[in-house]
Structure 1
Amino acid sequence: MKLSLISDYFSKEEKQAVVDAIGQAEKQTSGEIRVYFERSTKKMTPMQRAYRAFRKLGMDKTEHQNGVLIYIAFGDRACAIIGDRGIHEKVGDHFWKEELEIMQTNFRRDEYVKGLQKTIQLVGEKLSYYFPYQRDDVNELDDEIYFDED
């Protein structure tokens, strides 16, 4: 069965499980995590599309520059993880590559939700180390999953 929308691939419960993982991770950090799906990289690299989505979602405007985007081009089976300047300067390329490999391993087994949950958890742990939760923390960006269905 061919699904017309990417969001149809996931049940309501699976979507909520990912949103809950984001919320749980963000309870420990002032950092922000988002998940973004689209059908195709549109002949760009996954990183180029991820940067574009990062800016489109306003993730480059967080106070501490500690937003992280998990990007998936579902139809192309391509993905990327990017962090804003504040977190990237702390963890470097190696961390993002490790997390990407964990996520891709799960995706190859069609365990998308499990892969996202694990990656969100690990990114959240790293964010909490460098950007711990503050009493006056404001959730700058909502915790929803974004589906670009174009």
Structure 2
Amino acid sequence: MADVKRIVRHLLMTHWQVRRAFPQETLRAIEHAIAASESTHIGQIFFAVEGALSGMSLLKGGLARERAVEVFSQLRVWDTEHNNGVLIYLLLADRSVEIVADRGIHAKVESRKWDAVCREMEAAFRRAEYQCGVIAGIQAISEHLGRHFPSQASGKNELSDRPVIL
């Protein structure tokens, strides 16, 4: 049985609400945080925020994790030379964060560490601290990437640092 409160929350989520939570200055700050992070390692971080799931997905009981994996594929975050792409996906209607790491990173960083980063970000989002929450998440991810994928002089930026609103 579908969660009626959740469905209503998703149906009432507007593009305006997403833009209010993530205005241009916040998106620029996130982009700069990703660029700064990637100067310390060769990992690739991508941030995407989506206001709500589609009605059909909700009726089928769609989860943020399933959608994050789908977005990871659609945005080609997996398509990096060292298999070191990381997607931070926020489903705003649920204030749910999912981190999807490519196989090169997944083999080196345990899922529980990604989960801890997600829970910290979600706590910030419950306080409506979106910019701080995302930047803190990027910094936490950067620590893991720096440990396993240290910076190299020839490191190139394979994914855009610009956040995406879906």
Q: TM-score, normalised by structure 1?
A: 0.92
Q: Distance in 2 between matches of 1:94 and 1:106?
A: 19
Overall identity of the aligned pairs, in %: 35
Q: Distance in 2 between matches of 1:3 and 1:90?
A: 38
* RMSD (Å), alpha carbons: 1.5
- Is residue 15–residue 51 contact of structure 2 (8 Å, CA) maintained in 1? no
Q: Distance in 2 between matches of 1:50 and 1:146?
A: 13
Q: Structure 2 matches for 1:2-13, cutoff 5 A?
A: 4-5=15-16, 6-13=18-25
Which blocks of at least 5 consecutive residues in structure 1 are unaligned?
A: none
Q: Secondary structure in 2 aligned to 1:59?
A: coil
- Is residue 29–residue 131 contact of structure 2 (8 Å, CA) maintained in 1? yes
Partner of residue 70 from structure 2, selected from 52, 57, 72: 52
Question: Aligned pair count?
Answer: 147
1:98 and 2:116 correspond: yes
Name the stretch that deviates more: 68-77 or 82-91: 68-77
Residue number in structure 2 paired with 1:18:
30
1:39 Cα deviation from its structure 2 partner: 1.8
Q: Distance in 1 between matches of 2:155 and 2:86?
A: 17
Q: Secondary structure in 2 aligned to 1:61?
A: coil
1:4 Cα deviation from its structure 2 partner: 3.4
**After the TM superposition, which segments of 4 or more aligned residues of structure 1 sit over 3 Å from their partners?**
2-5
Q: TM-score, normalised by structure 2?
A: 0.83
Larger Rg over CA atoms: 2
Q: Structure 2 matches for 1:1-150, cutoff 5 A?
A: 4-5=15-16, 6-41=18-53, 42-43=57-58, 44-148=62-166
Q: Distance in 2 between matches of 1:83 and 1:90?
A: 10
